[in-house]
Amino acid sequence: MRFGNTSTFAIDCVHEAIPNERGWVFGRMCIWAGGLQLGDFEEPSCMLNVTGGHLEGVMGRLQALEEPSFEDLTHAQLYELLDRAIYCDDDRTPAQVAADAERYFKFDLLTNGGESFDRFKSFIAIANGQVRILFTELSSEPVGVCVDLAEFVATVTAFLGWLKVEAKNAG
Domain parsing of the chain, residue ranges: 2-168
- Whole-number mean pLDDT of the chain? 94
CA distance linking residue 130 with residue 125, whole number of Å: 8
Query: Residue 171 has what pLDDT?
Result: 56
Could you tell me which residue, 17 or 108, shows the higher pLDDT? 108
Q: Does residue 105 register a pLDDT over 80?
A: yes
Comparing C-alpha atoms, which of 169, 171, 165 is closest to residue 52?
Answer: 165
* Model confidence pLDDT, tens digit, residues 9-53: 999 999 998 888 888 999 999 999 999 999 999 999 999 999 999
pLDDT of amino acid 89: 79
Residue partners of 160: CB distance under 8 A and separation at least 6: 52, 55, 56, 59
Rounded to a whole number of angstroms, the distance between the first and last alpha carbons of the chain is 20
For 75-96, write each residue's pLDDT tens digit: 999 999 999 999 987 899 999 9
- Identity at 94, one-letter amino acid code: P
pLDDT digits (tens, 9 = 90+) for 43-70: 999 999 999 999 999 999 999 999 999 9
Phi and psi (nearest 5°) for 80?
A: -60, -45
